[in-house]
Amino acid sequence: MAKHLLVVEGYLKGLVLNLEEKDKYLIGRDPDLVDLILEDSTVSRKHAICFKKNDHIFIKDLSKTNPILINNNPIKKAYQLKEDDKIKIGQNIFAYSEKDIKENYKKEAEDYLSKSEEKEGYDTIFEEKVEEEPAFSNIISQEIILKVISGPNAGAEFGMEKNCSYIIGKDPKSCDIVFNDLSVSKNHAKISLDENNNIFIEDLNSKNGTIIDGEKIKEKRQIFSENIISLGTTSFIVWDQKKETETIYSVPIIKKPKIEELSWKEKPIPKKILVIGTATILTVFITFLTFFSLFKAEKVELKKIDPLNEIQKVLEKFEAVNFSYNPQGNKLFLVGHILTSIDQEQLLYDINKLSFVEEIENNLIIDEFVWKNTNDIINDNPAWRGVSIHSPKAGVFVISGYLKNIDDAENILDYLNSTFPYVDRLENRIIVESILKKEIDSELIIQGLIAISFQINNGEIILAGRYSEDNRSNFEKFLKNLKTKQGVRSIKNLAIETDASAARIDLTKDYTISGFASTDTKKEYVIINDKIFNIGDFLDDMKITDIKDKTIYLEKDGLKYKINYKE
C-alpha cells in the first residue's frame, strides 16, 4: 500500500506527499525545520506532524494561528487517518489514501506519466483545466439583494428573504453576512425584512457606527434602494429585484417666442436725454485728458491656474496620499494612507476650497482604524498583551512591546503574516525578554560581576547584589553598555559597593578547615577536608591565591571565591 496525501482542492492541486519512507514527517513552510514543504503563506513554519504507529498514519496539529481541519472539524489530539479523509492545511485540501495513485486517479495518472519525461522539477498528477463560465452565472434567486459597491468585498452580492433578519460583521462564526474589513466590528449591524419586503437596519453598538447617506444612525431605520449604507470602509446598497427599474426622462426645452423689438436707430431719443448725455461725455473726455499724463498704461494679464500644481500644494502635508486628476470631468481620485480621520477631514476641507474640483472619489485608508482593530484582536490572546501596533506616520505600521519567549514572538508574526492587510509596511520592534536576559548574563560574566543579580519587567532592569571596590570601573562600564541595549527602557540600580571579601562567592559550607600552619608574619599552610594546601595549589580546579586570618581566597575562570574558618 502506498500511503500518501494528495491535494484535491487549492492552488497546489495535484501535489503528492509520500508518507512511506520515514516514520515521522514534519509539514510546514520553513525548509530548515520541516520534511514536507508547502509554499503557502497561510501555513505556519511548523504546521502539522504525521507519524506511523502500528502500521497506521496519525496526524497532529502544531499550528495555533491556523489549525488544520479533518473533514471540516478541528482536532485536539493526534488523529488516525482513514481512507479518503479530507485534511485542510492552509488554503489547500488534502485527501489521505493508501491505494496506488494510478488506481485511484487513473486518468490523471496517465496524463502525468506521459508528461513526466518532458518536465523537470516538482510535478503534480493533475493538469489544471480552464472551464468557461456559463453566461449569467451567480444569479441570486431571492427578491432582495445586498450589493457591496466599495471596500474589500466590492462586487459581492447577498440574497435576503422576507420575514428574516441578518447579522452583518467580520466574525464568520456569528454573522450571516461576513465582510473582510478590519474597520467593521465583529457584529456590526442587523438587517431585518418584514412580510411586505420593507427593509430595516440597526446598529449593534459597533465602534465605527452605521452610516446612511453620510448620516450616522442612532436607532432602527428603514432603508430604500436609493440609500447608500456604510460600515467602516465598506459601502453597499439594497434593492428589490422584482420592482421595475426606474427610468430618468430628460425635460424638453421649451423655446420662448421671439419678440421683435424696434432697432435703437428707429426709436426717438428725448431732448432731455440728449443734453444730459452730451454733458456727461464732455466731462469724461476732459477728465481723461487731464490725468492721461499721470498714469502709465500697463498690460493686464490674467493669472492662469495650474490644477496639478494647486493639488500638489494641498497634498504637501500628506506624503502617503497620491492622486489622479481628470480635467475633462474635473474629477479628483485620491488613494493611499492617511494617519487619522481628523487628517482626512482637513484634507477634504482643503481640496473643497479648490474651485476647479467638482467631484472627489475618496479611496484613502485611515491607518488609525487599521491598527486599532488589529490591537483589539491581539489583546484577546493573553500571551500577546505586552505588544501593540501603532502608526508613527501615514503608511507605516510598527509592532512593538515585550514578549516572554521566542515562541510567542513567532506565533504573533505568523498570525500577522496571514491576516494583517499591510504586512509589507509593518516594522517589527518586538523585544523578547528571554533573549535580553541572556545578553545581560553574558555581559555580567565578561565584567566579572558574578555577585550581581537582575530582573526584567517590561523593559525596566532592576539590579541587586554586591560588587567590590576593585570592580567599580567594571560595574560602571556594565551600566554604560546596558543603557545602549535595545529593549532597555530604564535601569533601577540597587547594587551596593563593598570590600573585596564581601563581593566574593562564599564556599564556607562546602569545605571543612581542620587546621593550619603559620610563621610569625603569615599563614603558609591550611588543612582542607583532611588535605594540606599552600598558596598556589588547586582545590577542585580553584587556585588558592592567598591565606589570611580566618579567610582563604580562591579564583577560577575570572570568578572569585572565599572560605571562612575559625582559628
CA neighbor of 430 nearest in space, from 385, 467, 466: 385
In degrees, to the nearest 5, what angle opens at C-alpha 58 toward C-alphas 56 and 61?
A: 175
Report in angstroms the alpha-carbon separations of 434 from 158, 340, 386, 485. Answer: 49, 36, 14, 14
Query: Which CATH class name applies to 144-240?
Result: mainly beta
Q: Residue ranges per domain, the chain?
A: 4-101, 144-240, 504-564
Q: How far apart are CA 490 and CA 476, in angstroms?
A: 16
Pairing relationship of beta strands 73-74 and 56-61 according to DSSP bridges = unpaired
In this structure, CATH architecture of domain 4-101: Sandwich (2.60)
Rounded (10°) angle between helices 367-378 and 406-419: 130
- Cα dihedral 117, 119, 124, 125, rounded to 10, equals -40
DSSP state of 425: G
Phi, psi of 218 (to 5 degrees): -115, -15
**4-101 matches 144-240 in fold:** yes
Instruction: Transcribe 49-78 into DSSP letters.
Output: EEEEETTEEEEEE--SSS--EETTEE-SS-
Per-residue pLDDT tens digits of the chain, which is 567 residues long: 578 898 888 878 878 888 888 889 999 988 888 888 888 878 888 999 999 998 899 999 998 878 999 999 999 899 999 999 999 998 899 999 988 765 555 444 444 344 444 434 444 444 444 343 333 334 456 788 888 888 888 888 888 888 899 999 988 888 989 888 888 899 999 999 998 889 999 999 998 899 998 889 989 999 998 898 999 888 899 988 776 544 433 333 333 344 444 455 555 666 667 667 777 887 877 777 776 656 554 555 556 788 899 999 999 989 999 999 998 888 999 999 999 999 999 999 999 999 899 999 999 999 999 999 999 999 999 989 889 999 999 999 999 999 989 999 999 999 999 999 999 999 999 999 889 999 999 988 888 887 888 999 888 999 998 887 778 888 899 999 999 988 898 999 998 887 655 667 888 888 988 887 776 666 678 889 888 898 889 998 899 888 887 888 888 876 788 898 876
Sign of CA dihedral 350, 353, 355, 359: positive
